[in-house]
Structures are given as C-alpha cells and as structure tokens.
A and B are shown apart, each in its own frame.
Chain A
Amino acid sequence: MNDHVSRLLAALAYPLTSGRRTLAAGLVAVATYCLLILSTFPTYSMQLLGADMGYLDEAVVALTANIYQTTGALGLSLVVAYAVTTGVALTAAVGRARVADRTGVRGLSSVVPGLLASGCASCGAGILGLLGFAGALATLPFQGNLLRLAGLCLLLGYLSRLGDPRQCAVTPAE
C-alpha cells in the first residue's frame, strides 16, 4: 500500500521536475478540460465551433457555468481534477516511453493500456449525448459525478502503478 502511495506521489510530482514537463502537463490539462466541458453538450459544441472556432472561449465558459449549475462545485472539481490528472498521466507516459526506448524495455505498449483504460470515462456522458441520449449527463446518477469519479480513480490507479517514469522497479529475486 505504501509503495502505491509513494509511486503515486512520485508520478504526480514528475511534471514538476522540469519546465518543459510542467508546460506539457499544463497544456494537456487545459486541452482535456476543454474537451470534457465541450463533451457535456456535444451537439451544441459541434454546431457552435463548426460555425466559428472563435466561439471556443464562449462555449467553454457557458458550459462551465452550466456544469456548475447542474452538478455543483463537486462536479466541476472532479472535471478539473480529471483534466489535471490526465495532464500528469500523459506527461508521465511520454517520459516512460522515452526511458523505454533507451533501455530496450517495451515502449508505448507498457503505457497505452493504462491510458486507454482511463480513456474517456469522464466524458462518456458526452458521448452518450452524441449518440442521441438526450440529457444523458443529467439523467446519470449524481449528474455524471459517479462516472467522473470512476475515471479519476482509474487514472490515479494507473499513476500509482507507473510511479516516476524515470525509475524502473526491480523485484528482488527470492
């Protein structure tokens, strides 16, 4: 248990180990946040951005207000936490892939499954809306907060296995 916690903390701290990593994690987090927010009302987002990408800020602000009103501070906090964790996870995954390239260990194949498993658990409600389930987010238990929490737990679980991507854990021989 302590190993998992220490690996999780190491993974969370990894983007802070250089300016480039911090910037990369921040950009991914912002992009993920926009994607998650826009996916809460996909037909609206697609129509508005299809007309003019200049509406991106307006759409993000409007849907942020909407998600706050429908799911409360908890729902919005979960989206922010999911976006930040995704930024950390992707940065760490790239770091692990680079180390793997140098060491000859399996590369992306060792990190992609974890990210895919986390995948789009949080924006799943948006995809439901895209498929035609009207008000999918509002009809889900706790307005989709449970789905967001599940996605966040998967990401944190992935990070707790990954740890600091620059270090490889070696299991001692018995």
Chain B
Amino acid sequence: MYIQFPYLSQGSLTAAVMDRCVWRQVRDDNPGRYRDWHSTVFDEQGEKGSGWASTDNLLDITRGVDGVDADAVDSCMQTDRADIESSIAADVTKAQELGLRGSPASIFYNRDTGDTGRLVGAQPYARFETEITAVQNA
C-alpha cells in the first residue's frame, strides 16, 4: 500500500492528488498502468520550485502515458481534489504518528502477530530482506 507524504511545496500536494486520481482511473481495468504513470512522472520531474508539478504540466505528462485517460484524471482533479487532500492530510498525520519524518519510508506489518518494522530512505536490498524476515519471524 502506498501512502502519500507530500511536504516540499504545493506542487508536491498537487502531484499527490493526481497520483490518487490516476489510481482511481486505472485500478479496476488496468492497474499496471499506475506504475507506468508513476515512473514517467519520476523520470520527467523538474527542478524543485520550478513549477513543473503544476496541474497543467502533470496532465501533459499524463497524456503521454498509454492506458491512462488524462481527461478523466483532469475531471477527478476538479471534482474530488478537496476530498483527496483531506484524505492525504490524514495519511500524513498517521505517518507522523508512526515516527516517519521524510520519504521514502517503508513500514512492514505482520498481520498475525501485529509486529511492525520500519526502514527510512532507499536502503540496500539486503536491509529490506533482513527487516522483512525479522517481522515475519516475530
């Protein structure tokens, strides 16, 4: 499960909202397109504060991703933005309660035992293996 943690600027929040809109648009019929969209935005990101994460520019990027209906995403941005922003604000609060202070961060959860693990940042793969194993065996 992905949880948004926008903290850099208004552009971060715009991108986070569009992320949710894209997921809503593709999740039933073609969920794999979400990853394509996410990778494309990551590859085409601009400098911080340059305004690259504006709604218009993000929609332009979205139009270049096969299988994602940019018009439907635009419609979602206009009609559902406030609700999605509220949901993201709740997620950010929850993440902060879990001790997360930046991104990326990963939480591991054992449903049977309730044990959790946490990794902050893009750590080496071996660290993920160790943490997942520890939570599984907890």
Contacts and interface: CB of A to CB of B under 8 A. Distances in A.
A143 B48 contact: yes
Nearest to B118: A47
A19 B129 CA distance: 46
B120 A135 contact: no
A138 B9 CA distance: 10
A166 B101 CA distance: 47
Nearest to B104: A44
Nearest to A45: B121
Contacts of B48: 70, 138, 143
Contact of A44 (B7, B8, B120): B120
Contacts of B7: 134-135, 139
A47 B120 contact: yes
A55 interface: yes
Interface in B1-35: 5, 7-8
B86 interface: no
Contacts of B64: none
Nearest to B12: A135
A133 to B, nearest CB: 8
A168 interface: no
Nearest to B101: A134
Interface centre among B101, B122, B130 (most CB of A within 10 A): B101
Interface string B93-122: 000000001110000000000000001111
A70 B121 CA distance: 15
Interface of B: 5, 7-8, 48, 101-103, 119-124, 127, 130
Interface of A: 41, 43-44, 47-48, 51, 55, 58, 62, 70, 129, 132-135, 138-139, 143
- 4 closest A-B pairs by beta carbon, nearest first, are A44-B121, A43-B120, A134-B101, A134-B7
